[in-house]
Amino acid sequence: MSEALQAGLAGFESSFPSSTLERARDYWRRGLVEPAKDDAGDGDTRRIIVHRADLAYTVEVTAGSDGPSATCTCADDTTHGLATSESSDAASAAPCRHIAAAYYLLRDGEPPEHTAPEAVQAARDLATTRMADIPHEMYDGLLDAIVAKHDTSSLEGTGPESFTLIWTTAWADTAADEAPSTTTPLFSKTKVERMLKDALTDFTTPGPDQTSEQKAEQMRSVPLDNDCPLFTTVGSVVDNALHSSDWLNATRNLCTAVRFLCEVSEIFNDTKGAARSHVHALMLPISRYMTWMSEEAAPDVSGRALDMLTTLGCNKLVMHIMSGGIPIFSCALPFARWDDTNMWAYDMLEKADAALGTDTSEEACQERGFDIGWSRERLAIVRHDVAALSHDSAALETLRSTNPTDVNLQTIDLASAVLTGDVDAAREVLSAINKENQPSVELTRKANQSLLMSLNIAQNSELGMSGWLGMTEAVIQMGHDTEALKQLYTNNIANATVKLGIRYVPRMHQLVGNDAWPATLAELKRVCGRQLVQRHAMLDNVNQQLAQQKKKPVPPVALRNPAYELLIIESRDSDEALAYVRMTGAVSKELLDIIGLRHPDDAVDISNKLQEAQKARGEKPTNLIDSKEYDLIAESDAAQDAVDAIIHPNKH
């Protein structure tokens, strides 16, 4: 490059607004800017390519006496540049972010090595042990951030980028054929309405030899399941919109799809929560799409799109189905990054706050169908992140002073420490929440809710239940602290009350190795057995109090520990298996097989009583229940008697 061109680029930032520079630096930092194949590499004229999704813009930079001049092929693109079909006169007046990105490359050279994909992958490989059945996307986002994929230096210590932003920016690095494109023909409003109407008609039409009354009764009595054809049609609408860069019309179609699913959940039998879960799941790709829009669309287009989402989120039915609309309002976050769109993010949250209202009484919550207080807490976190991303120090100070010791703030601090790669600080935050690696139920609940809200994850999903544990594990892995990881796995195994806890048994095995595993297995069984005895004593006390209040007792199967079961099965300990089944009433084929090794009569007796319990529940009796059907909880007295006979054999 010539000296004249180099000198002219020295202070080019002064000729661009900050929002343009922010986007341009983001392109350069992510490696989306490179010299063109026909670029000479020297001289007074350079040709630079800026890659955006499936497009590539060519910037030609020429040295001049008054500084460099440049042209960009985005001037001919009314969709992806700063100009759009809705504001076509903006192209000539608005500084070009692609030109600014080219200037960064010419002046500063290649981005730092740690932003290269190879370095990102190496960090992932180094920081993880066993990733099976773990929320990969969460780790990917966190670990990418740790290797400086997302620059937080501009925040100047005021606060972190949000979890949602980390999560959604992964969308910006998707393959070109999966990103929003001008070549994707977007479904028209009429076509979307017709598709949804036809799907609804097909779903409600009586089948062969079925009357209208029978069909109506079927829809009332049979819950929606995940294979419902209505979800397939909605998926087609959403997928089409997500691949289109016709931003406003695509947002309209996305809003139509979300509102339709909320109506389906309200009108039909959604007792299993299939429609509710489906609409929550849609918010992850929609959030990613909004991140794309915040980077590519004109500011006025972003504002109009957020206004559509605000109207959707403030709808009474949508607020009822979607936890007060919080997953929708979280879409404001990526727009808070830019000076020319953050006002729309603030506007969205002000309207959300007004729509939620301040009445958090039990009566108000029952009337509106969601926990208003919980939603207001979640909205406060979104407001914090918007203020942090907007570099609004005054707003941040006000928000942080309202509840300085709340676990939500600790979760935010954890995000900040993880983002900046400060493992020691992250572990200090974890220590404050995870007292001796065993957090209280309330603290864990609040911390997990904060995490789940930011990530737009349904709480009852497997990912939701594992969110906070996954975060804890990720931070310890980043510190390469093997002993702390052993303690964490031991705690998770000893306190596993859902099948999710089973995953920590093979992880512990892999961590300690085959040679040390037999001794570790024996120690884990000892810890689990002691924990089970303690929980059994606590359950007896609880049931005594419930009896005094004339309330139904908690069944002993509540003591079940699936991870402990796996340890027993792996060690093939017949005595321990029998003691466990008698204490909890939780039975599986594998446990009964192991009991039968030394106690065949007891195994047969338990199997017979199990059949009695199944028969009392109106189920078809089987010799052995499937491993996926552990629990023996039953409503009828006969079933409860059968369970009691298993736990207290000497009484019968």
Per-residue confidence (pLDDT) for residue 133, from 0 to 100: 28
Per-residue confidence (pLDDT) for residue 645, from 0 to 100: 38
Secondary structure (DSSP) of 345-382: HHHHHHHHHHHH-S---HHHHHHHTS-HHHHHHHHHHH
Which CB contacts under 8 angstroms, 24+ apart, belong to 501-505? Answer: 501/561, 501/562, 501/563, 502/562, 502/563, 502/566, 503/132, 503/133, 503/134, 504/563, 505/563, 505/566, 505/567, 505/570
pLDDT bucket at 351, cuts 50 / 70 / 90? very high
Between these two residues, 471 and 633, which has the higher pLDDT value? 471
End-to-end alpha carbon distance in the chain = 93
CA separation for the pair 467, 454 (Å, rounded): 11
Please provide residue 62's backbone torsions phi and psi, each rounded to the nearest 5 degrees: -130, 135
Kindly tell me if the per-residue pLDDT of 308 is higher than 80.
yes
Strand order in the sheet with 45-52: 33-35, 45-52, 55-62, 69-72
Between these two residues, 453 and 32, which has the higher pLDDT value? 32
Interval 490-516 mean pLDDT: 80
CA separation for the pair 137, 466 (Å, rounded): 13
Interval 459-478 mean pLDDT: 50
Per-residue confidence (pLDDT) for residue 177, from 0 to 100: 45
- Coil, strand or helix: which one is 181? strand
CA separation for the pair 471, 418 (Å, rounded): 10
Between these two residues, 577 and 487, which has the higher pLDDT value? 577
Kindly tell me if the per-residue pLDDT of 246 is higher than 80.
yes
pLDDT bucket at 650, cuts 50 / 70 / 90? very low
Element (H, E) at 56: strand 55-62
Interval 382-407 mean pLDDT: 69
- Whether the Cβ atoms of residue 294 and residue 335 lie closer than 8 Å to each other: yes
Per-residue confidence (pLDDT) for residue 433, from 0 to 100: 52
Between these two residues, 428 and 278, which has the higher pLDDT value? 278
The position carrying tokens 């139509």 is 256
Interval 328-333 mean pLDDT: 87
Per-residue confidence (pLDDT) for residue 422, from 0 to 100: 56
pLDDT bucket at 171, cuts 50 / 70 / 90? very low
207-227 pLDDT, tens digit each: 888 898 888 888 888 888 888
Q: Give the residues across from 432 on adjacent strands.
A: none
- Whether the Cβ atoms of residue 191 and residue 240 lie closer than 8 Å to each other: no
* Of 510, 640, 494, residue with least CA distance to 565: 494
Indicate the Cα dihedral angle 474, 477, 481, 483, nearest 10°.
70
Q: Which two tokens stand for residue 580?
A: 């466990």
Per-residue confidence (pLDDT) for residue 309, from 0 to 100: 97
Mean pLDDT of the chain: 72
Per-residue confidence (pLDDT) for residue 179, from 0 to 100: 62
CA separation for the pair 479, 463 (Å, rounded): 23
- Coil, strand or helix: which one is 301? helix
Per-residue confidence (pLDDT) for residue 611, from 0 to 100: 72
* Of 404, 428, 406, 431, residue with least CA distance to 416: 428
Indicate the Cα dihedral angle 263, 266, 270, 275, nearest 10°.
30
553-574 pLDDT, tens digit each: 877 777 888 888 889 988 888 8
Q: Give the residues across from 72 on adjacent strands.
A: 59
Kindly tell me if the per-residue pLDDT of 457 is higher than 80.
no
- Whether the Cβ atoms of residue 120 and residue 149 lie closer than 8 Å to each other: yes
**CA 37, 38, 43 angle in degrees (round to 5)?**
120
Between these two residues, 472 and 40, which has the higher pLDDT value? 40
- Classify the phi-psi angles of 480: left when phi > 0, otherwise alpha if psi is within -120 to 50, otherwise beta: left
* Of 355, 295, 352, 301, residue with least CA distance to 327: 352
pTM to 2 decimal places: 0.58
The position carrying tokens 């570099």 is 391
- Classify the phi-psi angles of 411: left when phi > 0, otherwise alpha if psi is within -120 to 50, otherwise beta: alpha
Task: Work out the percent of the chain whose per-residue pLDDT is above 90.
Answer: 19
Element (H, E) at 508: helix 504-512
- Coil, strand or helix: which one is 449? helix
CA separation for the pair 494, 524 (Å, rounded): 8
Interval 395-414 mean pLDDT: 58
Element (H, E) at 38: none
Please report how the helices 562-571 and 589-598 are oriented relative to each other, as an axis angle in degrees rounded to 10.
40
pLDDT bucket at 23, cuts 50 / 70 / 90? confident
Between these two residues, 249 and 168, which has the higher pLDDT value? 249
Least confident residue range of 107-121, 320-334, 480-494, 502-516: 107-121
Per-residue confidence (pLDDT) for residue 473, from 0 to 100: 62
Kindly tell me if the per-residue pLDDT of 233 is higher than 50.
yes
pLDDT bucket at 511, cuts 50 / 70 / 90? confident
Per-residue confidence (pLDDT) for residue 305, from 0 to 100: 96
Per-residue confidence (pLDDT) for residue 292, from 0 to 100: 81
Interval 390-409 mean pLDDT: 64
Kindly tell me if the per-residue pLDDT of 644 is higher than 70.
no
* Of 610, 617, 566, residue with least CA distance to 585: 610
Per-residue confidence (pLDDT) for residue 40, from 0 to 100: 73
> How many residues make up the chain in this entry?
652
Between these two residues, 11 and 58, which has the higher pLDDT value? 58
- Whether the Cβ atoms of residue 645 and residue 556 lie closer than 8 Å to each other: no
Between these two residues, 70 and 415, which has the higher pLDDT value? 70
Least confident residue range of 456-460, 509-513, 628-632: 628-632
How many Cβ atoms are within 10 Å of 650's Cβ, its own excluded?
Answer: 4
- The 8-class DSSP code of residue 422 comes to -
Per-residue confidence (pLDDT) for residue 157, from 0 to 100: 29
Per-residue confidence (pLDDT) for residue 620, from 0 to 100: 58
* Of 498, 381, 367, residue with least CA distance to 451: 381
Interval 342-355 mean pLDDT: 94
- Coil, strand or helix: which one is 499? helix
Q: Which two tokens stand for residue 352?
A: 């959300």
pLDDT bucket at 316, cuts 50 / 70 / 90? very high
Provide the CB-side half-sphere exposure for 525 (13 A, CA). Answer: 20
CA separation for the pair 619, 467 (Å, rounded): 35
Least confident residue range of 175-189, 295-309, 395-409, 591-605: 395-409
Least confident residue range of 238-247, 316-325, 431-440, 596-605: 431-440
Q: Give the residues across from 503 on adjacent strands.
A: none
CA separation for the pair 22, 19 (Å, rounded): 5
Q: Which two tokens stand for residue 452?
A: 């789940």
Buried b (16+ CB within 10 A) or exposed e, 626-635: eeeebebbbe
Q: Which two tokens stand for residue 522?
A: 């024996």
Interval 592-596 mean pLDDT: 85
119-153 pLDDT, tens digit each: 334 433 433 322 222 233 333 333 333 333 333 33
Per-residue confidence (pLDDT) for residue 121, from 0 to 100: 45
Kindly tell me if the per-residue pLDDT of 102 is higher than 70.
yes
Per-residue confidence (pLDDT) for residue 243, from 0 to 100: 87
Kindly tell me if the per-residue pLDDT of 503 is higher than 60.
yes
CA separation for the pair 40, 370 (Å, rounded): 63
Per-residue confidence (pLDDT) for residue 119, from 0 to 100: 39
Between these two residues, 175 and 28, which has the higher pLDDT value? 28
CA separation for the pair 214, 233 (Å, rounded): 25
- Whether the Cβ atoms of residue 450 and residue 407 lie closer than 8 Å to each other: yes
Please provide residue 56's backbone torsions phi and psi, each rounded to the nearest 5 degrees: -140, 120
Interval 404-415 mean pLDDT: 49
Kindly tell me if the per-residue pLDDT of 612 is higher than 80.
no
Per-residue confidence (pLDDT) for residue 250, from 0 to 100: 95
Task: Work out the percent of the chain whose per-residue pLDDT is above 70.
Answer: 66
| H helical segments located in 130-176 | 136-146, 163-169
CA separation for the pair 475, 134 (Å, rounded): 14
Per-residue confidence (pLDDT) for residue 59, from 0 to 100: 92
